[in-house]
Amino acid sequence: MMVDMFREPLPVREPASPWQRQASRARGTVWVWYIAVLVGFGVFLSMLPGEVDPGPFGCGVICLSPRTEALYLSIALGGPTWVVSLAVASYFAGAWTRRRVHASAIGIGTMSSVVGAIAGLICVGVCVAYIVAIP
C-alpha cells in the first residue's frame, strides 16, 4: 500500500481562546451549585411527613400533606426563581470571565451563583408580593 506523501494535510482546528474555555468552566460550576441546591431541596422534601393531618378543624375543601404543599409552593415560586437566577448567574459567569482572565473558574462560578441566588431571592419576593396582592 502506497502512502500519498503529497496530499494536503487536514486543517487543524484552532483551540478556543482562554476566556471561552474559562467561561464554560465557570458556567459548569454554576450548574454544579444549582444541581446541589436541587438535590438538597429533594432531601428536604423527603424528610417532610407524607400523611395528611386534618387538625382540630378538619380538612376543609382540599386535604394536602406538608410534603405536597411544599412541592406545590416550590413549583409556583421555585420554578420561575430557578430560571431567572440561573440566567443571571450564567450571564455573570460569562461577563466576569471576559474581564478576569486569570481568575479561577470555580471562584467565578461560585460568585456568579451567589449573584444568581440574590436575584432568586428578589424573584421570590416579587412572586410572593404578586400572590399576596391577588384578592
- pLDDT at 96 (0 to 100): 80
Domains in the chain: boundaries: 20-49+62-133
- pLDDT at 22 (0 to 100): 74
- pLDDT at 5 (0 to 100): 60
| Sequential pLDDT tens for the chain (135 residues) | 555 666 666 666 555 555 556 777 888 888 888 888 888 888 888 887 877 766 666 676 777 777 888 788 888 877 888 888 888 888 888 888 777 666 777 888 888 888 888 887 787 777 677 767 765
Neighbour count for residue 57 (Cβ, 10 Å): 6
Transcribe 75-134 into DSSP letters: IIIIHHHHHHHHHHHHHHHHHHHHH-TTS-HHHHHHHHHHHHHHHHHHHHHHHHHHHHH-
Among candidates 67, 32, 62, which has minimal Cα distance to 47? 67
Cell output for 57: 378543624
Cell output for 95: 461577563
pLDDT tens sequence across 2-39: 556 666 666 665 555 555 567 778 888 888 888 888 88
Q: How many whole angstroms separate alpha carbon 22 and alpha carbon 104? A: 8
Q: How many whole angstroms separate alpha carbon 26 and alpha carbon 105? A: 5
- pLDDT at 10 (0 to 100): 63
Rounded alpha-carbon distances, angstroms, from residue 109 to 9, 11, 13: 39, 34, 28
- pLDDT at 93 (0 to 100): 83
